[in-house]
Amino acid sequence: MSKAARGCVRIVTPVLLLLALNLPTTRCGYQLTGVLDDCFCDVESIEAFNNYKIFPKLQKLQERDYFRYYKVNLKRPCPFWADDGQCSIKDCHVEPCPESKIPVGIKSGNYNKYSSELNDGEHVEACDQANELGAVNSTLSNQSKEAFIAWARYDDAQDHFCELDDELSPDVQYVDLLLNPERYTGYKGPSAWRVWNSIYEENCFKPRSVYRPLNPLAPSIGGENGESFYEWLEGLCLEKRVFYRLISGLHASINLHLSAKYLLEGTWGESNWGPNPLEFKRRFDPVETKGEGPRRLKNLYFLYLIELRALSKVASYFERSIVDLYTGNMEEDRETKNLLLEIFKDTQSFPMHFDEKSMFAGNKKEAKSLKEEFRLHFKNISRIMDCVGCDKCRLWGKLQTQGLGTALKILFSEKEIQSLPENSPSKGFQLTRQEIVALINAFGRLSTSIKELQTFKVLLHENSNIG
């Protein structure tokens, strides 16, 4: 693509967003490219649509039994490097991390069992805390457990086109997502860094010749020609750039959740969670991030539009009477489905869409191999999620990558979806319960991110008024 073709664009230009954050803006300074040209979007419309229309409905939908229980295998070993154990927080010297049974009151007081062994007991404390916050609460009522057996029987009787092998593993368990909200866990440091690093470095189509650090802020050594990170990105074909944007958007979204549901200081023991504007600024403020923050948020919007597009495309699959959202309670199932269809209608009424037709539109053979490469890279990223050292982070990482994977599957199956027979099980295109649950909850997370952004804007605005 020529430089000119990538010029100034009308679309997801986050002018409004930047204004709200009190930033200098240059109207055409953003290198938005390609596909987004086909979408007449502005941030304000997306926000209004999301925050007032979609978000409240999604919240309701996610509380439904069908959507609140996610089947997941959290015990799969990391296929790429030796597991570094549960305790992966920075500077935690204890290996393996002690299963602390000390009551919280004692732990946070002056007495610390480990402080004599280690000069700095704080590390252990931080480690314990990370373990505790990162643990998944696998409590399920007996009633739910019984229901799952019926669900499995029902699902097995369906004519599934393909089975995700994960579902067959004995380690697969149901997790109640409402009991395990995604929020700050203290999981950071080398282990977390390694996961994101390998996603960016090894799975984002990075050409070998280009030295490109995970953090585009790192001193740019450049590639062979000394090119900068963004020059490198611009040089990629549309599809690869899209891939990078999706990953970056996902990363931004996850960081937004952690900033919005932060463990607030001084409340450890009482577990008080809320927005932390400092954390938000650290990750997204244009000055503090040297311009990276707005780019990350832009990618978040981009990801949002992609998943929104997928939802609008898959509507006809669900509109068929043969697809139900089975939990065994007919009344509730019908209501759940109606709510879902209502949300699909909303997504279809939203005029600003990403046009995926321009993806993989090149010559047929090339497009096919690119699509396959895309798929493999993505699959690999979902396997990297098995390397996340904190169960709760792993749970949400897996769910969100599976949700995005499902969205991509939908976008690339448009023809198959259109030609589905009305009243017989489809052979060509099918979604498993797990995929459906992941798709909706992953989109729910993005929707929440957009909503949380608004919260931060208000908070930061208040702060600046006070200051």
Whether 393 is catalytic is yes
Binding-site size, ligand NAG (CB under 6 A): 12
**Is 283 annotated in some ligand binding site?**
yes
Query: What is the footprint of ligand NAG within residues 229-258 (CB under 6 A)?
Result: none
Distance CA 141, CA 188 (A): 32
> Given 92, 204, 387, 390, which residue is catalytic?
390
Closest CA to 410 of 428, 397, 398: 428
Measured from the Cβ of residue 47, the count of other Cβ atoms closer than 10 Å reads 20
Binding mask 418-457 for ligand NAG (x = CB under 6 A): ----------------------------------------
* Cβ nearer to ligand NAG, comparing 80 with 154: 80
Q: Which residues lie across from 176 on neighbouring strands?
A: 69
Please tell me whether residue 196 binds ligand NAG under the rule CB under 6 A.
Answer: no
* Cβ nearer to ligand NAG, comparing 244 with 301: 244
> Which residue stretches of 110-237 are H helix?
121-134, 142-157, 190-203, 229-235
Distance CA 134, CA 100 (A): 14
Please tell me whether residue 203 binds ligand NAG under the rule CB under 6 A.
Answer: yes
Output the smallest distance, CB 81 to ligand NAG, in A.
8
* Cβ nearer to ligand NAG, comparing 132 with 355: 132
Whether 390 is catalytic is yes
User: What's at 223, amino acid-wise?
Assistant: G
Output the smallest distance, CB 174 to ligand NAG, in A.
14
**Is 289 annotated in some ligand binding site?**
no
* Cβ nearer to ligand NAG, comparing 80 with 318: 80
Closest CA to 72 of 164, 151, 149: 164
Window contacting ligand NAG (CB under 6 A); options: 217-225, 304-312, 349-357, 372-380 = 372-380
Candidate list 115, 380, 382, 455; residue touching ligand NAG; CB under 6 A: 380
**Is 193 annotated in some ligand binding site?**
no
Candidate list 137, 209, 338, 464; residue touching ligand NAG; CB under 6 A: 137
> Given 92, 97, 127, 393, which residue is catalytic?
393
Are the C-beta atoms of 235 and 1 separated by less than 8 Å? Answer: no
Distance CA 174, CA 138 (A): 8
Helix (H, G, I), strand (E, B) or coil at 250: helix
Please tell me whether residue 173 binds ligand NAG under the rule CB under 6 A.
Answer: no
Are the C-beta atoms of 70 and 434 separated by less than 8 Å? Answer: yes
Helices (H) and strands (E) in the chain, counts: 17, 4
Helix (H, G, I), strand (E, B) or coil at 425: coil
Are the C-beta atoms of 262 and 184 separated by less than 8 Å? Answer: yes
Helix (H, G, I), strand (E, B) or coil at 71: strand
Please tell me whether residue 319 binds ligand NAG under the rule CB under 6 A.
Answer: no
Please tell me whether residue 80 binds ligand NAG under the rule CB under 6 A.
Answer: yes
Measured from the Cβ of residue 52, the count of other Cβ atoms closer than 10 Å reads 10
Binding mask 24-63 for ligand NAG (x = CB under 6 A): ----------------------------------------
* Cβ nearer to ligand NAG, comparing 100 with 289: 100
Q: Are strands 172-176 and 262-263 parallel, antiparallel or unpaired?
A: unpaired
The residues annotated as belonging to the active site are 390, 393
Which residue ranges are tagged as binding site for FAD? Answer: 183, 185, 196, 248, 251, 283
